[in-house]
Structure 1
Amino acid sequence: MTTTDTVVSSMVAAGLVAPGAAAHSARLPGGVVVHGVRVAQEHAERAWHFWRGRAGVVPLLTTRVTSAQDLTALASAAAEAGPPAESVPVAEASGTVARIVSRVGARSIAEAYPEDRAEEEELRDPARLVQLLDPPSGSAVAGNPLAFTPDWGIENLWLLLVEEGGGGGESHRLPLLLPGFLSGSSTAWPDMCPLTPAEHSAFLRHWNARYGAEVFFMGGTEMQLYVPRPPLDLPAIAALAIEQNAYCDDLDDVIDTANGQARSTVWHFWWD
């Protein structure tokens, strides 16, 4: 069991927060405890990695919490929402992803203008999409998970430690435990179906099993994933780019996603 005292003492010793920093806690439905501590933007990435993989906690950076009162409100909102849904096995999560991707692709092809239909079909077929992509480099592209913060003028974030599971591999449960942290998210046009916490969790579980993807930042309409082993071969890159574009319509087009984000150690999703 992690306590606020051990959170602060551990982070002070690591140089991540100043002595005297305050940590706060809240209990979610089902007994899950969330600890929160404010961290400077310059220390945020190192703080997340400091806790990543530690037994019993899942770290998450956010701007949805900015005070102890917010943490208390989070617990109250979660209580009103009721117990979180259970996560599903990887195979079931992958099946959910495949159904959503197939549905989005079918609707996109059906809605395309006649002169665009052949191109749309090509972009939705991984075997054909690979022919349009840049050759693989043989190594992952190093990404910056906090690249978006200067645009927002963010100086401080809150690091949440969710006492759940065995570390980063359980971060796919965060949308279930914190269902209000992502808002206004929907699948790609023309499908535009609101994504439920269970569907967010399915995509995250699917990507964690394949690429080790873990939630780094989540809040509002933004989510950042840390991805230690993104795909390096073109068929996997093409399939992933199609999944990502079905999941989040505000990405660039499928080819740009495949040539860029899909090969990176950081994946960025936002829904405007």
Structure 2
Amino acid sequence: MSTFLHQPRLSADELFRTLRARFPGANLERTTTAAGVEVIGVSVARNRVRAVWDEWRGRHGETGWWPYVTRLSPDDVAVTGGRDRVDAAALEELMSGVVCQDHDALAASVTVSGFRWSAEGGDEEDAEEWRDAYDPDRLAPELGPALAQPLPGVSRWGTGDRDVFRTHGRRWLNFVPARGGYELPVLLPWLIGTGNWSGYGDRILSLADDAAVLRRWHEQWGAEVFLAQGAYLELVVDRPPLEPRAAAQVVTELLGYCRDVVGDPRGVGDGMARSTMWSLWWD
């Protein structure tokens, strides 16, 4: 029977055996969510997890499993995932929409909607200030000149010393059968900021919205999901924008998707937007 879900090259058993051989003595776990998504994870020291993620991201083409960093072991994933009430049939329907959707158009809609939501509540003068600050054509002349190479990105929660997860120096590197990290919000609907905690006040996005924005960034800038954990999301960016106009466009799209990260549009446009790591969070 045909399916819109990604079929990996390695079976779960083959991946588990491969990881066992690659990480002898490490803590490995595997589980299957209520919707039938298999998750396999290995516990890795925090100071090594980026190098290990790089290795297995590079092997995605031969395995078909996408690695992401988190504090949740596969067993924890099973417990948390049991609350999402997405069964196999619902997941298949969700994924069919994601695979077939015009992700660029949907991502643009998310950006416009996010801008309007952020600008509401003030008078016309306030709205004009928002347009001055976040319209790419208006913001670009305020940014620094083009860079010759990307700024080095620094992980805040995956490998950095801000251990908000209190996991004593270790992270889980979990593997999910996916075409890319942009499918993770659909396969694991509670994974980032939506659906499982009402505290994310500006998280009004659908799973398709998440997938569309992340896929656009993947195709446009080479952005790949590195860390995903509730209110926290980090992307490794292979081809961040170096020109002011392109960096300004990223600032606008970041505002539409995660307004908490762009309180200072010029700072983000000259800094994180042109770096190899984008760290996002929702309050």
Scaled by the length of structure 1, the TM-score of the pair is 0.83
Q: 1:215 aligned to 2:225?
A: yes
Q: For 1:166-177, what aligned pairs fall within 5 Å after superposition? A: 170-177=180-187
Instruction: State the shift of 1:126 in Å.
Output: 1.2
The match for 2:69 is 61
Secondary structure of 1:210's aligned partner: helix
The match for 2:4 is none
Q: Distance in 2 between matches of 1:117 and 1:141?
A: 32
Secondary structure of 2:259's aligned partner: coil
Root-mean-square deviation (CA, aligned residues, Å) is: 2.4
Aligned sequence identity (%) = 30
Instruction: State the shift of 1:229 in Å.
Output: 0.5
Q: Distance in 2 between matches of 1:75 and 1:127?
A: 42
**CA gap 1:82/1:253 in 2 versus in 1, 3 angstroms:** farther
The match for 2:236 is 226
Secondary structure of 1:35's aligned partner: strand
The match for 1:269 is 280
Q: For 1:38-53, what aligned pairs fall within 5 Å after superposition? A: 38-53=43-58
Letter in 2 for 1:200: D
The match for 2:172 is 158
Q: Distance in 2 between matches of 1:90 and 1:215?
A: 21
**CA gap 1:163/1:121 in 2 versus in 1, 3 angstroms:** closer
Q: Of the candidates 178, 198, 210, which is equivalent to residue 200 of structure 1? A: 210
Instruction: State the shift of 1:33 in Å.
Output: 2.0
Equivalences, count: 253
**CA gap 1:82/1:147 in 2 versus in 1, 3 angstroms:** closer
Does 246-255 or 54-63 show the bigger shift?
246-255
Does 26-35 or 118-127 show the bigger shift?
26-35
Q: Of the candidates 237, 240, 244, which is equivalent to residue 254 of structure 2? A: 244
Instruction: State the shift of 1:110 in Å.
Output: 5.1
Residue pair 1:172, 1:201 contacting (<8 A) in 2 also: yes
The match for 1:118 is 128
Q: Of the candidates 73, 76, 91, which is equivalent to residue 79 of structure 2? A: 73
Instruction: State the shift of 1:257 in Å.
Output: 1.5
Q: 1:4 aligned to 2:16?
A: yes
Letter in 2 for 1:61: V
Secondary structure of 2:41's aligned partner: strand
Instruction: State the shift of 1:111 in Å.
Output: 3.5
Residue pair 1:45, 1:146 contacting (<8 A) in 2 also: no
Instruction: State the shift of 1:239 in Å.
Output: 0.8
**CA gap 1:260/1:244 in 2 versus in 1, 3 angstroms:** same
**CA gap 1:7/1:74 in 2 versus in 1, 3 angstroms:** farther
The match for 1:132 is 142
Structure 2 stretches lacking a partner, 5+ long: 1-10, 196-200
**CA gap 1:206/1:38 in 2 versus in 1, 3 angstroms:** same
**CA gap 1:151/1:92 in 2 versus in 1, 3 angstroms:** same
Residue pair 2:118, 2:259 contacting (<8 A) in 1 also: no
Q: Distance in 1 between matches of 2:222 and 2:260?
A: 23
Letter in 1 for 2:52: A
Q: 1:33 aligned to 2:47?
A: no
Residue pair 2:236, 2:278 contacting (<8 A) in 1 also: yes
The match for 1:16 is none
Secondary structure of 2:155's aligned partner: coil
Residue pair 2:235, 2:278 contacting (<8 A) in 1 also: yes
Scaled by the length of structure 2, the TM-score of the pair is 0.80
Q: Distance in 2 between matches of 1:29 and 1:164?
A: 17
Residue pair 2:224, 2:236 contacting (<8 A) in 1 also: yes
**CA gap 1:234/1:75 in 2 versus in 1, 3 angstroms:** same
Instruction: State the shift of 1:114 in Å.
Output: 4.1
